[in-house]
Structure 1
Amino acid sequence: MRNISSISPIWGREYKLEEKPFDALSSKSVNTSSKYSPDGGFGKGQSILIDSIIKSTHKYIELLTNKSNIGAIGLIEDNICVELQGKNEDIIQILFYNKLSGRCLACNYDTKNNIYNEYKLRNHRNSKGEKGSILFLAMMPEILKDNEALSIFNEYKLYIEEKNDLDELSIKLMATLCDNVYRRVLKGDLKLIIQEGVPLEKICLEDIENKKIAYTKLLLGKFKKVKKIKENKKQIESLKIEPGEFTLNLSRKLTEHEKSQIIKLPDSHRVSKIERRICKEIKRNWNKGDMKIANILLEGDAGSGKTQMAKALSSNLGLPYTKITCFSDMDKSDVLGSILPVVNEDNTDSNKEIEYKYFPSEIVRAFTEGYLLEIQEPTVIRDAAVLMILNSALEPEGTINLPTGVVKRHPDFVAVITTNRNYIGCRPLNEALRDRIQHSEKMDLPEREVMIERAIAKTGFDNVELVSKLVDAIIALDECATANAIHGVAGMRSLFFWVDAIKNGEDIRESMYYKVLYKITTNPDEIRILEEAVENNTSLFIETQSRR
């Protein structure tokens, strides 16, 4: 097997468009391109409409909107399992896709004769094979993790729901999405490995019966043949950080005020693998000159623990903590500080003199005095000059040109950038800024057991069985929101307040809405999808009805 090439038959260059309403077009070429195109950006290059991607997009939208019972998508560890109704009503296509390796197993299940036939992709010698739509349907949850693909998908979905016909915009949107997927597959960002000219590795009856081909989390639809299996909960090791284990050898002795600025972690804090890893890396390289790690990026959804992680680093490293929250209209004075008029109170004359005094920003104070600075949401900044100042400050021997003169980066200064991903108002993190990062972490929900421990410690609610079910619901909602292109987030904050509400006598199901679901979305269709995710993937409302 090998990676998909640019001339692979799966792209359908030699075949006409068959998916309605695009089948009416005389040409597949469209003057547009994704951000991954060498031409770069919407409308600057040439893209090709790809029939299999168009069909998979339409099928995914059908599953999202529950318009027809055409199949289902489910997860099991690093695999995505898909059922899709074939053209023949007696045929169910089944595919098992590993999103890490790109390996695919598939079959055409003949329900009438109970036979598992090979799934053959069309090729140069056999134009009667399958076009491969089920492959891209299985990949859709991974495809939509990209901010451009997600934005285009949502716009196209809304557009066709309103107009349901072809025009220049809908064609351009679909062509851009096709180009996005095509180029990410060629780059290897989206893994897809198939062998040209031969059937995909076959799924056998034994694979289904023995539940090797199965799912643990239902994302969309309803499976007819593939079975759900109970997920084996992973046991994680209890992690600890001993007092002083990662305390840095600072270049100066901290003042009493600076010591008071070191974060004291609450009793509810639980050490994670990411926390230990970052602390270990910083400590290990602290005195290694150019290899010193002092610029950290934490990127993830709201509620994933980015700010809590920054505070934990302050506590573990022994550095005073401060922060700045960026905003769209941020200008140079917000970074450099300001010169402001001050009345000279020492002057005994009735006419008091006005003097001008420089007041440093929080950034400058941390930069010059050697604090741990959390820079929240630099992705919202619009002024390029502000980003240039930050770029300069994050250099290992960085400097900032202040109104009072040039200042150098303190050797103890640590910058922790925390930013959301794919949120409205956020831009991709500036490439120059990202290049200055020495350690980056993708922040997702913590491990299940860590979530349980934190929720119990935070709220004092010690019903471990019920808290475990609430955690499972939060995880199911988080995965469902991602898979269904719902922009809201189910995170630790929602979990804490949900547990607290239940502790104080609130109804489990009712409180789920105003503590969790309505924080994600208030769209009725999306609420229904999220409700089904909890019903189908947890036992929360099976064994807790009597507790209302």
Structure 2
Amino acid sequence: MAKTKLFEAWSFRLQQPAPFDDPKYAGSKSMGFSQYNTSSTAQKSTLHAPTMRALLAYAKLVSATENGQSVDGLGAIGHQGTTYRISEYRSANKTDCVVFNPVTGKFNAAQVEDGTQALKPYSVGAGNGTGSGLLFCLMPVLNEDDEFRQKFQEFVSLLESGWADMDAAFECALTLCDNVYRRIENSKQLGSDGVKISIPTTGNISVITQMAMDSGNYAPTGASYGEFTIMQMSGTPTAKASSFQKEDFVAKYALSNRTLTARELAMVPTLPDWYIIPKEVVRVCEHAKVTTASSQPMRNFLFRGEAGTGKTMGAQAIAAGLNLPYTLMTCSANTEITDLVGQFIPDTNGFHGSTPIEDLPKISDITMHPPSVYMMLTGEYDEEKTEDDVLQKLIEIAVGNLVEKEETPGQRIRYVDTPLVEAIRHGYVCELQEPSCIANPGVLVGLNSLLDNCQVITLPTGERVKRHPDTVIVVTTNSDYSGCRDMNQSVISRMDLIYDMEAPDLNTMVKRVMNVTGFTDEQEATKMAIVVRDVAERCRQTMITDGSCGMREFKSWVLSTMVTHDPYESALSTIISSASADPDNRAELISSCLEPQYSRTI
């Protein structure tokens, strides 16, 4: 049984591409095996159709480029710095856009049909993608091997000759296919000669989203062969940086000429120097400001994403860009509609009797030294006072407080605005955090009147409050986490913009954590970021869902390492322990993700 999806049995039954589609080339052969074919039994090699299509596409592209011929319709292969290999593989009526990380072995991919711009998911499996697009992207990595490089040069020469010697071409193709198969299937045993790849058992490759492409997360910085037509080169307008300067953003999107009070000014967030303003935040501010004069201004926005992707920080940045006060409401399973629109609380007029509640002693204080506590309550020190004496005095004080409250005339309860109602009343930015956790589905439906622009809500007091035209509500949620549910469709329909906040790329992760923590070793931070990303990906692949691994855990790991000076030790109590509470899961993450980068210090 194949170890990877690329070489499952169905893939060997596919039709070979011309001119290798002659039946005499089918099946296993006792020839053309690579140096990595060390079988103790009879050595065999076989043409693999997906690999052959990738080899032929790469050979045609290399030949056309090196001979100064047109590369139109031949795809492209390039790189993004030293992090990614990037390719566009052309096949019948579509293009496979593929990104490969040689360190993690992870692919990201999307298919684009001719005549469209939509990015569709890519899946490896019988009846789906054959994997040729992924293998095409691997060609520069495979070409780092001496045997592959020598045989591939021979393969290109035979192509340029018009396949004048098909016997030689067939044997060369066998060796190349065997080389690719052995180095991928036996990557662990071959060490640096192996090619590590990671494809989920479902065959579903992580999709390249339009947002990730537009923001430049995946943008080739160089083209080795061919010309990219879908994935724009870094530096072009569609691949501009995904961050903006603070001086060009903060308070630049004010929705009105209102003057904030001193209290309101204090509630406007101040963005830290380390914060990188993402494109999604700028877009929200742009939409909110530009549509202000319209009959239906855009004021409701939704950020979805994993923990640590910057949803809450993004909501605060929106408030800074709009120069509006920021408020926050966090929902839970027990949240009811009354928790959102306001509550009645006891009104003590700021008076708590002769002894303020916050000044009363704690149980631990009473147990430790009763005479000292008794003196605090009465002003008298007596070494003979016991815990019972202190408790009796506390009862007397409590009864006295109740009597004073009973004798105090006036209202006993009062209404208090929630942060959401305060934002609606005065025109603030309110982040509504994790409403998908709410257990009662009727509560989410009850949000509708709060989300409608310029509508009136009725408070428990009977007061009718009209939504201020500057009010902006930012809903932040993650529907994939335990306790979260699907958002009600009526709430979704009231969102003017919905952004899926993706985990930052490697370079952004490193830059953020270094700015936040003051860590100065960029090489070490990059190495740690690779481990964090590997752990997160491994958790997704193996369905480890009882923990979290993201930017927060990365920051904690770096801070701990600055104390211990031992990344391995610090990883165990930060990213590994946060990823799962199960000992077996943690052991697996240590062996598969941590130890390839760090060894235990003896």
Q: Do they fold alike, i.e. is TM over 0.5?
A: yes
Matches within 5 A, 1:9-408: 70-72=2-4, 82-84=6-8, 86=9, 112-118=43-49, 211=141, 227-228=195-196, 237=241, 239-243=243-247, 245=249, 246-250=252-256, 252-290=258-296, 292-342=297-347, 352-354=409-411, 356-402=413-459, 403-408=461-466
Partner of 2:585: 526
Corresponding letter in the other structure for 1:531:
I
Cα distance, 1:282–1:446 mapped onto 2, change above 3 Å: farther
Which of 482, 488, 506 aligns to 1:430? It is: 488
SS of aligned partner of 2:570: helix
Distance 1:232 1:281, change over 3 A: closer
Letter paired with 2:525: V
Is the partner of 2:486 in helix, strand or coil?
coil
Residue pairs, 1:426-505, within 5 angstroms: 426-487=484-545, 488-505=547-564
Offset of residue 471 of structure 1 = 1.2
Q: 1:278 to 1:207 in 2, by over 3 A?
A: closer
In the alignment, structure 2 segments of 5+ residues that lack a partner are 16-25, 34-42, 51-118, 143-176, 199-217, 222-233, 235-239, 352-403
Q: CA deviation at 1:506?
A: 3.5
TM-aligned CA distance change 1:397 to 1:314, over 3 Å: same
Note closer, same or farther for the CA distance 1:427–1:207 as it changes in structure 2 (3 Å cut).
closer
* Change beyond 3 A, Cα 1:226–1:432: farther
How far is 1:286 from its partner? Answer: 3.2
Could you tell which deviates more after superposition, 440-449 or 426-435?
Answer: 440-449
Q: Secondary structure at the match of 1:490?
A: coil
Is contact 1:373-1:416 (8 Å) kept? Answer: yes
Alpha-carbon deviation of 1:492? 0.9
**1:71 aligns to what SS in structure 2?**
coil
Aligned residues: 380
**Counterpart in 1 of 2:81?**
none
TM-score w.r.t. structure 2 length? 0.54
Cα distance between partner residues in 1 of 2:510 and 2:492: 33
Residue 356 and residue 208 in structure 1: after superposition, are their counterparts in 2 closer, same or farther (change >3 A)? closer
Distance 1:219 1:116 in 2: 15
Q: Which has the higher strand share?
A: 1
Partner Cα distance (1:108, 1:199) in 2: 22
Alpha-carbon deviations, 1:164-194, whole Å to 9, x = none? xxxxxxxxxxxxxxxxxxxxxxxx9865699
**Structure-1 separation of matches of 2:552 and 2:485:** 24
Change (3 A) 1:242 1:500: closer
SS of the residue corresponding to residue 243 of structure 2 reads: coil
What's the CA shift string for 1:216-275, capped at 9, x where partnerless?
A: xx9999698972499999788473234364322326321111111001112221222333
CA distance in 1: counterparts of 2:474 and 2:186, whole angstroms: 37
Shift of 1:391: 1.3
The CA deviation at 1:350 is 5.6
* Inter-partner Cα distance in structure 2 for 1:445 and 1:201: 26
Give the aligned partner of residue 35 of structure 1: none
Does the CA-based 8 Å contact 2:187-2:196 persist in structure 1?
no
CA distance in 1, matches of 2:559, 2:437: 33
What SS does the aligned partner of 1:407 have?
strand
TM-fit CA distance, 1:418? 0.9
The answer as to whether partners of 1:372 and 1:415 remain within 8 angstroms in 2 is yes
TM-score between both structures, scaled by the size of structure 1:
0.59
SS of residue matched to 2:244: coil
- Residues 324 and 429, structure 2, Cα contact 8 Å, conserved in 1: yes
- Mapped contact 1:345–1:352 kept (Cα < 8 A): no
What SS does structure 1 have at the residue aligned with 2:347? Answer: strand
Shift of the 242–206 alpha-carbon distance from structure 1 to 2, 3 Å rule, reads closer
Tell me the equivalent position of 2:213: none
> By how many angstroms is 1:421 displaced?
2.4
**How far apart are the structure 2 equivalents of 1:295 and 1:219?**
50
Alpha carbons 2:271, 2:317 under 8 Å: kept: yes
| Cα distance in 1 between the residues matched to 2:2 and 2:294 | 58
- Residue 511 of structure 1 is aligned with which of 570, 578, 584? 570
Deviation at 1:396, TM superposition (A): 1.8
Distance 1:446 1:329 in 2: 32
Q: CA deviation at 1:282?
A: 2.8
SS at match of 1:113: coil
What is the distance in 2 between the residues matched to 1:202 and 1:355? 74
Structure 1 residue 343: deviation in Å?
A: 5.6
Q: Distance in 1 between matches of 2:557 and 2:131?
A: 45
CA distance in 1, matches of 2:540, 2:458: 43
Measure, in 1, the Cα distance between the counterparts of 2:563 and 2:45: 54
Displacement of 1:199 in angstroms is 11
Q: Which has the higher helix share?
A: 2
Q: CA deviation at 1:203?
A: 8.7
- Code of the residue aligned with 2:552 in structure 1: it is R
Distance 1:316 1:462 in 2: 30
Query: One-letter code of the match for 1:227?
Result: V
Do the aligned partners of residues 343 and 481 (structure 1) sit closer, same or farther apart at CA in structure 2, a change above 3 Å counting? Answer: closer
The one-letter code of the counterpart of 1:113 is: K
| 8 Å Cα contact 1:322/1:374 also seen in 2 | yes
| RMSD between aligned residues | 4.4
Instruction: Judge conservation of contact 1:323–1:374 (CA < 8 Å) in 2.
Output: yes
Q: Partners of 1:373 and 1:327 in 2: how far apart?
A: 17
Q: Single out whichever of 276-285 and 469-478 deviates more from structure 2.
A: 276-285
Q: 1-side partners of 2:309 and 2:573: how far apart?
A: 20
Tell me the residue number matched to 2:68.
none
